Amino acid sequence: MGIGDYKMAEFQGGLKADKFDDLEAGFGGSSMLYPGISADENTLRWGFIRKVYGILSVQILLTTIVAGSVVYFEGLKTFFQQTPGLVLFLAFVPLIVMCPLYAYHQSHPLNLILLGLFTVTMSLSVGISSSMAPAPIVLEAFVLTTIVVVALTGYTYWAAKKGMDFNFLGPVLFTSLVVLVFFGLIQAFFPLGNMSQTIYGGLTALLFSAYLVYDTDQLIKRYTYDKFILASVALYLDILNLFISILQILNSSRSE
């Protein structure tokens, strides 16, 4: 083989390697998450992100199974309708479990046990809420939630790669959440009709859509590697609250 042939083969081999690297980058293998991040940090961060989304996927799958069972099996639906005390208790269990889960999020396997208990109780609450709406509306809310989550997640990764930062949203979102909680309490004790429920559901959907962008940005840039449980819980709650708010909008619109 002559020198010219050798150089051509080397060039073609390098071209193929570059294409392979580009392909890897397209799947997140070596794509830089945001400007200024080092190569080593980028690799570690991608591993952390995959771990968080792996846990989140299990949570979503478990919630779909548990909540779907409550919605589609009449026996379970009737049981919860006839035991309002149990339903009220289940609504408070996730709040109680979150305290030790936060305290022991680094203690294996206790953190996974607490996470499983938190996910199951949240799933039951979501299933009970969903059972009050017709099955087609629940399915529609599920599809819409999936579309919104995928779109906002993709946008946040694109924005981070372009150098945008959403950390400033933290105080605004927290203040909005407090206002929304008080609005919800007023709505619970002094119902204002279907229109107010639709407005409340719309505001809640907007708030947790923004929270999804904020928490995804935190996942990309700021969560430390030992907080994978807390990161998955934050995204999980964003998705569930978004689903419930969309379900509320669709159900209220149907009632009108």
Q: What is the pTM for the complete model shown?
A: 0.84
CA 247 vs CA 63, 91, 132, 153, 205: distances in Å = 15, 18, 10, 20, 10
Q: What pLDDT digit, counting tens, does each position of 155-209 carry? A: 999 999 999 999 999 999 999 999 888 887 777 677 666 677 788 888 999 999 9
CA 210 vs CA 53, 116, 183: distances in Å = 19, 26, 18
Residue 230: which residues within 8 A CB-CB, separation 6 or more? 102, 105, 223
Whether the Cβ atoms of residue 214 and residue 166 lie closer than 8 Å to each other: yes
| pLDDT at site 20 | 34
d(CA 126, CA 128): 5
Residue 217 confidence (pLDDT) above 90: yes
